[in-house]
Structure 1
Amino acid sequence: MSSNDNCVKCNQSITSVSHLHGAFCKNCFQVFVIHKFRAAIGRTKLITNGEDVLVACSGGDNSSALLHLIQHGKSESAHRKLRFIPQVLYVDEYGALEVSSEDRMAKRAEILQVLIAAGFPVYVSSLEQALNQKRSETTARSVFVKAITSNIPLPPNVETSELKSILSRISSLTSLEDFIKQLRCQLIVTIATELGISKVLTAENCTKLAIQVLSCVAQGRGSQISQSTGFSDSRNNVMFIRPLRDLSSSDLAAYNKLFDVPSTVNPIVIKKTSSLSIEHLTEMFVLSLLKDFPSTVNNIKRTSEKLEQADLRLPKCYICKYQAARVSPCNLLWLLSYFKKLQR
């Protein structure tokens, strides 16, 4: 977003980005974004020097910006180099969409070409492999491959058909999106464990997390907000870290545009055009508020940071690994079940 105001840092009249806290020139905006990114990592000290870290990249705006920031932090021009060792993972989710094999192969090659050019080891998997995790344990077959070139074969048609068959049985778009998210998460955990890596960097930004906070509340998952939107998520054996949570989606979009960071549009699973998921409706609501109330996202994020983590002694859900919420015997689900029994 262009602006004609003076830069709030260096007071130059040539500015490139209009931000919530004022206008920035190109150089000062880069310093601002890099500082937010590095401060988030350095503040918690969760990542040690020389530690292998898996970077989950989808090729979209957020993950492309994350990879570019890591690449800059490892370069010779960086004031203080990042000390961890990044390895990149791309999970192909196009198997969940009605996309031809040719188009899927071309899209995968386009994304892999960008990831390989970053200069870090790149691993590739697909959503179909999430269904093969148990089989791979008995057959010693890996659920991922190392990408030397961008021409990585697609999974067998039988596996893609099996995935689509399972997804077609889910009628609710909200449940469908959540199921795909859980499959992806479990697959990333499996791959990280196989690589001997205990930390995964993901690219959720402040805007995305604010939407997720309200979406969790709307779906009755308020007890999960602390872990699902916090800086780190340790519900699995592998810790997920969100170093971009202090930057908004507009910040990252402006960063990508100013520094020519290549990115692609992420696949969005939509079965019924007439209906939207709870998360999509929440996104529309939050983005509409931003037009008149630009501090909405930051206020939601700061409020969510005050929420405490659920009791770790509670049993975990088999699918999402979150702690089960402690509820009284008389709750909504119990009442619905009771009324159904009375109707029989």
Structure 2
Amino acid sequence: MCQVLEEYHEPLEQELRSASKKCVKCKEVLAVVVIRAGDKYCRDCFDQYFRHKFRAMLGKNRIIFPGEKVLLAVSGGPSSSSMLRQVQEGFSQSTHKKLRFMPGIVYVDEGGALGQSAEERRQTVAKMEDMFKATGFPFHMLPLEQVLDIPSSVMVKAPSSPQAASAYKAAVDRFIRNGVSSDVTPEEKVGTSPPYVLESQTHSLRQLMDSAKTLTAREDLMSMLRQQLLVHTARCEGYSKVMLGHNCTRLAVQLLTSISLGRGAHLAQDTAFSDSRYGDIISVRPMRDYSAKEIAYYNHLFHVPCVFTPNLHTKAKEKSSIQHLTESFVNKLQVDFPSTVSTIYRTSEKLQTACKNSSSEDHCDKCLLCMCSLDTSVEMASAFQATLMSERLSQPKSVGANSLFPRENPEWSGTPAGSCCKGTGQNCVEDGGCSSAFRLPDTADVRRWLCYSCQLTVKDMSSVDVLPQCILSEAQRRQNRSRMREEISDFLLDD
């Protein structure tokens, strides 16, 4: 009678065990990486799998046209550094089909907002410069303080170029016919060092970040400021696409975080492959199919250089912010349930945003901070209107500049004297108010042009006067146009 413990059973187990360690693709070499259960790859097959995944993502979407200038946003982290390596591999001589766009690199130094010393910031920038010079691509080093001086034109959605399949085919034919090379010329290989930053600019940036009372608001605010600076740089340098290094794990965390922060209406734009909220500048996420585990394995096996840069929640407690808590929750759940991240990520792929017709869309319908469509134009019997009513009733009865919604009071006729024109009274009118063309925007003016999530962020700020001048100028301009429209409403024809 057969027994389990007999000797003839042991060689069979050893043979099955050795066969299970073979690569699932070539089935010859022993596997060195186990991505998921049953997905074991050797070194060469894993390299091919990783590179094919990146090229397939770009080829499937057909967003980046041949000959276009693409700006790679590299922070020095594992995901963005791996993205930079994939672009390098796409331009190497051994590549069968080279990439056809013209790459450039940008790095945003956030040390001023984090309270780092000048020496620490110089060391980090020096490491990033060494990494970028090795690629041969043109690069730009930008301090986050520059966001305080960008013009208000970044808040206006510029007209976008057609992105249809026929336009892509026409661009490919034009690229082949003209024989334009996508290689970087020697003149373009020169990088730009970070400009000199004044202490006053760093102090203003620190005031802006310190005005947010919670770490959740600080992280949300810094993300939006970074995005505005990237878009402004892309426009000034002639880039039409911005390539971000968001991976699958980060997008899964961002989806749950956005829902918690009230950004449910903008989930598709925040997590999709392409984001065209700025019109002429489109953000793409080619790393969105990679998990953090795959990227970590690839960087370790192929020695991809990374530079550690601290952020706002470095060494912070788990419950210090909604973003940090959500990230910890997803990572812990992923350990016991390996399909957690993929399930959340696949859900985000099914989301779509109901946008207005591009011909009738006005840039005044865009949020001042995130540039997404305003989701506050809802019916009166809604949870948002109920929240506004509760906040209004909890405020003091006096109406003035400190009131939360002064525009809703028909008796309001201007900002009280002493709180307009920075207290100079030069542009005050006879009724004690300030001329709408010169009155400084207050909290109510700014919140009026924000989406629900950004309103919560501004609500956590002690003052809106520390916001970048481009946001305050655009809020004042929109407020003046709204007042002008109300004044001439009797002479306008109905839509």
Does the alignment pair 1:18 with 2:34? yes
Cα shift readout 1:287-336 (whole Å, capped 9, x = no counterpart): 11111211111111111111111323572112111112253323334323
Pick aligned residue for 1:110 from 105, 127, 130: 127
Does the alignment pair 1:319 with 2:369? yes
- Matched residue type, 2:79: N
Offset of residue 272 of structure 1: 9.5
- CA 136–156 in structure 1, closer or farther in 2 if over 3 Å, else same: farther
CA distance in 2, matches of 1:337, 1:26: 57
1:260 counterpart residue number = 303
Pick aligned residue for 1:336 from 360, 384, 387: 387
Q: Is the 8 A contact 2:140 2:191 kept in 1?
A: no
- Matched residue type, 2:208: I
Cα shift readout 1:4-51 (whole Å, capped 9, x = no counterpart): 822111113422211125111111111111111111100011111111
- SS of equivalent residue, structure 2 residue 85: helix
Q: Is the 8 A contact 2:136 2:189 kept in 1?
A: no
CA distance in 1, matches of 2:114, 2:214: 16
For the pair shown, the structure with the greater C-alpha radius of gyration is 2
1:271-310 matches, cutoff 5 A? 273-274=316-317, 275-310=319-354
CA distance in 1, matches of 2:354, 2:225: 23
Cα shift readout 1:244-279 (whole Å, capped 9, x = no counterpart): 111111111111111101001232114994542211
1:140 counterpart residue number = none
2:86 counterpart residue number = 69
- CA 340–85 in structure 1, closer or farther in 2 if over 3 Å, else same: closer
Q: Is the 8 A contact 1:61 1:252 kept in 2?
A: yes
Q: Is the 8 A contact 2:140 2:193 kept in 1?
A: no
- Matched residue type, 2:143: S
- Matched residue type, 1:126: P
Identity of aligned residues (%): 40
CA distance in 2, matches of 1:23, 1:340: 56
Cα shift readout 1:97-132 (whole Å, capped 9, x = no counterpart): 121111110111011110121110011111000001
Pick aligned residue for 2:146 from 112, 129, 138: 129
CA distance in 2, matches of 1:236, 1:309: 15
Runs of 4+ in 1 over 6 A off after TM superposition: none
CA distance in 1, matches of 2:388, 2:265: 23
1:84-123 matches, cutoff 5 A? 84-123=101-140
Equivalenced residue count is 333
Does the alignment pair 1:202 with 2:252? no
1:225 counterpart residue number = 267
- CA 221–286 in structure 1, closer or farther in 2 if over 3 Å, else same: same
* More divergent stretch after superposition (307-316 vs 261-270): 307-316
CA distance in 1, matches of 2:79, 2:148: 27
Offset of residue 61 of structure 1: 0.7
- Matched residue type, 2:299: N
* More divergent stretch after superposition (176-185 vs 271-280): 271-280
CA distance in 2, matches of 1:342, 1:126: 42
Does the alignment pair 1:27 with 2:27? no
- SS of equivalent residue, structure 2 residue 67: coil
CA distance in 1, matches of 2:259, 2:238: 35
1:175-190 matches, cutoff 5 A? 175-190=217-232
2:22 counterpart residue number = 6
CA distance in 1, matches of 2:191, 2:269: 36
CA distance in 2, matches of 1:330, 1:265: 49
- Matched residue type, 1:248: S
Give the TM-score normalised by the residue count of structure 1.
0.91
Q: Is the 8 A contact 1:52 1:84 kept in 2?
A: yes
CA distance in 2, matches of 1:330, 1:271: 42
Cα RMSD, aligned residues only: 2.3
- Matched residue type, 1:48: F
1:241 counterpart residue number = 284
Q: Is the 8 A contact 1:109 1:150 kept in 2?
A: no
Q: Is the 8 A contact 1:212 1:229 kept in 2?
A: yes
CA distance in 1, matches of 2:306, 2:314: 25
CA distance in 1, matches of 2:220, 2:81: 23
Cα shift readout 1:127-147 (whole Å, capped 9, x = no counterpart): 00000113999xxxxxxxx99
CA distance in 2, matches of 1:227, 1:180: 18
- SS of equivalent residue, structure 2 residue 141: strand
CA distance in 2, matches of 1:241, 1:135: 24
CA distance in 1, matches of 2:191, 2:67: 26
CA distance in 1, matches of 2:314, 2:290: 31
Does the alignment pair 1:155 with 2:194? no
Give the TM-score normalised by the residue count of structure 2.
0.64
- Matched residue type, 2:64: I
- CA 136–106 in structure 1, closer or farther in 2 if over 3 Å, else same: farther
Q: Is the 8 A contact 2:269 2:353 kept in 1?
A: yes
CA distance in 2, matches of 1:323, 1:36: 32
CA distance in 2, matches of 1:95, 1:147: 28
